[in-house]
Structure 1
Amino acid sequence: MPKAENKTTVTPVDPADFIAAVEHPTRRADALVLDGLFRRVTGFQPRMWGPTIIGYGQYHFIYDSGREGDFLATGFSPRKANLSIYIMPGYADFGSILDRLGKHRIGKSCLYVNKLADIDLTVLEELVRAGLDDLGQRWPVEPS
């Protein structure tokens, strides 16, 4: 049976060009703020992962099943419906931080925010750092 390839991989698209092309002005402005926040917190330069995700750092995983690959360590996507923020690899409970964040929803490994005005950016910075620290305990995180 052939090995499954990761669907989301690094692309050559410039993240700044991608952000500049976001149609909705609030979503574009929020993406610029998030780009600065992720650069500051991670110390990594952004790279596009797939057509719509801006990632900061990466890690190589190998599951017990033998599946392996590379994925972004943290990042976000300014989608039409909301901002998808990839900060929770699904290993730790960040409930005490999330309780202080503001209006949001969570998925398996994503945080969904309608707009940055709905949340506390200082708490988001804390959450990004906590997510990276947790991920780094499982897989080495490297610059992307």
Structure 2
Amino acid sequence: MNNKDSKIEIISYLFFGGLTTLVNIITFFILNSLLGTDYKLATSIAWILSVIFAFITNKRFVFKSENSSSQEILPFLTFRIMSYLMDIGLMIILIEVIHFHPLISKILVNVLVVLFNYIASKYFVFNRKTYSSMEGGK
């Protein structure tokens, strides 16, 4: 990948990652602040919706992957579950231990989650080299 393609990929990821983050935060806000849902349940539901959105946009628009979705869904979900555990764990620490406001906590945690998800998606999930080596270099 040349330098120009790399910059376009990063900009695309930031754009769609930003939209994914908005899906996550808006869902959390609606559930937690407006509907009074417990922050842990609101975080979990927001995670599910944002993961679905992220998989579709990362595959099609960011990494332009031509691999089958079935090859990518398991590693994608594995890393997203890891980021969910990071998300919920940090939310518990920030809200219950440090006593931060839930929405501010959600925004802060999402910065780390977005960075983790980019690295995981770029190098492990939507990486053409990963799948070509699994297929014997085809």
Same fold (TM over 0.5): no
Q: Which has the larger radius of gyration?
A: 2
TM-score by length of 1: 0.29
Higher helix proportion (structure 1 or 2): 2
Higher strand proportion (structure 1 or 2): 1
